[in-house]
Chain A
Amino acid sequence: MIISSLGQGLLWAPLAIGVFITFRILDIPDLTTEGSFPFGAAITVSLMIKGQSAIVATIIGFLAGCVAGLVTGILDTKLKIPSLLAGILTMTGLYSINMHIMGKSNVPLLTQKVLTGYLPAGLTVDMQTIILGIIVVAIVIAVLYWLFKTRLGLSLMATGDNKNMSAANGINTDGMIIFGYMISNGLIALSGALIAQNNGYADIGMGIGTIVIGLASVLVGEIFLRGNNILVRLSAMVLGAIVYRFLLTVAMSLGFPADDLKILSAIILIIVICVPIIQNRIRTKRQLKKYLAQMEAEDDGSITSKTSAKSILSRD
């Protein structure tokens, strides 16, 4: 069970990292996700059926996601459509495009060689998935780590943090936002391409709920792994995707039918949104208590400090 959620989680990790880039770095809730995920899957599977190799098809799937991000980015920055609506528009449009690409709502892969087919045949399917996942995730993290160490990556972070300040320092903020949308949705489409190959088919409905999966992975990852270092933050996303898959597998093994997975996803997301808030409150309280106890120890006997300490605590 752990092995299979590890492999699955790694394939979902690019989605988590993609959502992280828009949601955390740019501070934008991007719903394009629900369209770009099946878009990547549709493009990749269709190309493979047409005889393209899995590697080329997957890369083109990634690029297709970038184009979807480009569209949302232009809607957002140039046409001034609110980002939430811009994402919904692209997502809705992509539904038709995906239908045109696939021709029907479900396209199975038949004898085509998928990415795991390039790995040694002696391994079990789970092992192959894990190795493929590790390779892809390592490449993604390495490239992003390098990116965020460059001036370009710094400009991207600054734009998400403070747009006014970034523009005042000569950064083309619209360009940065579009660029962020592009890599984000490229990674999401890449995840779609990997999952489709893993499942053996592309389905028009496979994008439903992906934004919830992505956000939950981001938040779960941040619960387990905290830090300001970009490498830690990216690794947290991978961990988040794996843990999230594990939670779902556990739920499935408890006997929940597959149809209930979406509501479980939603419930998990609600929980992981609340956990850090409660965690934070408890931590602050504990630290405050410690601090006040220290104060009390320092000037022992002073009544005023004791009463004020109590009044501060009771207010919280």
Chain B
Amino acid sequence: MEVLQVKHLQKVFFPGTRNERHVLKNINLNVYEGDFISVIGNNGAGKSTLMNAIAGTLSADAGEIDLVKHNVSKKSVAYRSQWMSRVFQDPKMGTAGDLTVMQNLVLAQSHTKTISLKRYQKKAAEEKYLALLRTLNMGLENFLNTQVKYLSGGQRQALSLLMATLSKPKLLLLDEHTAALDPKTSQEVMSITDNIVKEQQLTTMMITHKMSDALKYGNRLIMVQDGQIKLDVSGAQKNNLDKSELLQAFE
């Protein structure tokens, strides 16, 4: 089943000016349930624009985006979040710094649009969150009632990841989510990601600049170049790819 269908997506920045840039050129993409897609491409290729268009932070100029059979092309980020979560590149983006770890987790627990006047902090939930934080192995369980701004970048990103997966999204978007971390932390966060995705069998799209990560993780690889999808391989074909081949395709 298709979790995400992108049909004839177009995006032009600054149309009619000297700086006109056709960033997405008639993109078509089907993401199937259980896919773990690595998206690669050089700077300015359009992968981030594609991600933003899917997430809803950017509206496409033409084309259609279907999320779990719902046409969401004109819908808000909040509406799309019913089925979708996103981890940003900047650890500060995915969490609310002035709120505590607990409060952040409560917000991520359910992406409902309904307004609730019930008390949010419950003892029973606390235990559950502690157990989840322990699985990250980042020492976050000691900071349940600490404001998130006091955490390190790696801890914040691990928390973002946990938050993004807490609502059991149909589609998880990872936007270069390890790029801002040091190599060791980046690796840790990447392996946590892999564990969570496998465990919950999440359909995932991950933008990455690390060729090795793109090859190592996931069952499908997409290369975006010049606003088009130049390469889309999956399964055994993907496993047979190697770095030099990919770099060649980049040319």
Q: Chain A interface (Cβ within 8 Å of chain B)? A: 149-152, 154-155, 157-158, 161-162, 164-173, 228
Contact = CB atoms under 8 A, between A and B. Distances in A.
Q: Interface extent on B, as a size class?
A: 35 or more
Contacts of B97: 161-162
B234 to A, nearest CB: 27
A151 B116 CA distance: 6
Interface stretch (B31-39, B43-51, B98-106): B98-106
B93 interface: yes
Contacts of B120: 149-151, 154
A164 B57 contact: yes
B78 A167 contact: yes
Contacts of B142: none
B107 A158 contact: yes
A165 B55 CA distance: 12
B129 to A, nearest CB: 14
Contacts of B121: 149
Given A151-B118, A162-B92, A170-B113, 9 more contacts: A149-B120, A151-B115, A151-B116, A151-B120, A152-B116, A154-B107, A165-B94, A167-B76, A170-B82
A201 B207 CA distance: 64
B81 interface: yes
Interface in B98-151: 98-99, 103, 106-108, 110-113, 115-121, 147
Contacts of A150: 116-120
Contacts of A152: 115-117
Contacts, number: 79
B77 interface: yes
A164 B88 contact: yes
14 contacts: A150-B118, A150-B120, A151-B115, A158-B96, A158-B103, A162-B95, A167-B77, A167-B78, A168-B85, A168-B86, A168-B94, A169-B107, A169-B163, A170-B81
Given A157-B98, A158-B96, A164-B57, A170 B78 contact: yes
Interface of A, helix, strand, loop or mixed by DSSP: helix
Contacts of B113: 170, 172
A75 to B, nearest CB: 19
A88 B106 CA distance: 36
Contacts of B78: 167, 170-173
Contacts of A170: 78, 81-82, 110-113
A150 B106 CA distance: 11
Given A149-B121, A161-B96, A164-B88, A169 B103 contact: no
Contacts of B57: 164
